[in-house]
């Protein structure tokens, strides 16, 4: 039985700590939302925007993201999107924002049956609107070719795997609406950041199409041996 259906017919358990009562308990939600900060991979790939995340990629954050992304627990979308919105707000300050989700590979979207990052970007925009931020989502960023699964690849291998993988759909302009006074900022969004290769390649594609891409925001940033690395599987 699909996990999303099980969530409807069985008492929910927290994806972060397995406590009964909710898809994500108050303690795990607080941990997920509690530490928005600038977190850059070290070393950072050339062209990587300034990266902000809501939390380090600790146990509860990892379990919640994996359950949502890979196991179909779509009820986790709202708390995860809330965390993403906090990271965007910390990065952008009071400026209006254009959220550009990093697209999933077609094979991954078929396997999962949903677009996890795209859905999070839409919900994060709702959260930001509710808080008074002029926000829109632009899905102009697209895959131009197939890429291998990023899991298990080294940092150089990830960069090679993703080289020239993204492009901008015809008609995508990256312009903030004039009614915002030209003070908006483009923010790339993804679920987690590891080496930064995915976000750097996405930023490269947008810049070649004439966009300015100063910022990126994710739910979590991976830490290993004192360095922030990326666990992104695409």
Average pLDDT of the segment spanning 120-144: 92
Which range is least confidently modeled, 11-15, 198-202, 210-214? 11-15
Say if residue 106's pLDDT is above 50: yes
Return the domain boundaries, the chain: 3-229
Across the strands, what pairs with 13?
Answer: 20
Identify the band that residue 9 occupies on the pLDDT scale cut at 50, 70 and 90: low
Give 32-91 pLDDT, tens digit per residue: 988 899 999 999 999 999 999 999 998 899 999 999 988 889 899 999 999 999 999 999
Q: What's the CA gap between 30 and 61, in Å, rounded? A: 11
How many Cα neighbours within 13 Å face the side chain of 40?
Answer: 12
Question: How confident is the model at residue 232, as a pLDDT?
Answer: 43
Say if residue 202's pLDDT is above 90: yes
20 or 11, greater pLDDT: 20
* Contact status, residue 117 vs residue 100, Cβ threshold 8 Å: no
Say if residue 109's pLDDT is above 50: yes
Identify the band that residue 169 occupies on the pLDDT scale cut at 50, 70 and 90: confident
219 or 170, greater pLDDT: 219
């Amino acid at each position: 039985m699909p996990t999303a259906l099980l969530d409807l017919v069985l008492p929910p358990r927290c994806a972060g700590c397995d406590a009964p009562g909710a898809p994500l308990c108050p303690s795990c939600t607080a941990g997920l939302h509690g530490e928005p900060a600038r977190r850059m991979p070290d070393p950072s790939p050339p062209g990587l925007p300034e990266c902000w995340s809501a939390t380090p990629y600790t146990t509860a954050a990892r379990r919640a993201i994996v359950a949502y992304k890979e196991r179909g627990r779509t009820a986790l979308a709202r708390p995860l999107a809330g965390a993403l919105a906090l990271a965007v707000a910390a990065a952008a300050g009071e400026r209006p924002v254009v959220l550009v989700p990093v697209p999933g590979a077609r094979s991954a979207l078929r396997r999962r049956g949903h677009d996890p990052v795209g859905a999070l970007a839409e919900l994060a925009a709702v959260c930001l609107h509710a808080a008074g931020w002029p926000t829109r989502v632009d899905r102009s960023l697209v895959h131009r070719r197939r890429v291998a699964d990023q899991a298990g690849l080294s940092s150089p291998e990830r960069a090679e795997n993703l080289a020239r993988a993204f492009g901008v759909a015809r008609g995508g302009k990256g312009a903030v609406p004039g009614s915002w006074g030209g003070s908006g900022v483009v923010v790339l969004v993804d679920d987690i950041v590891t080496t930064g290769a995915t976000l750097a390649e996405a930023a490269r594609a947008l810049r070649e199409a004439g966009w300015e891409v100063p910022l990126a925001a994710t739910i979590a940033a991976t830490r290993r041996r004192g360095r922030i690395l990326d666990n992104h599987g695409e």
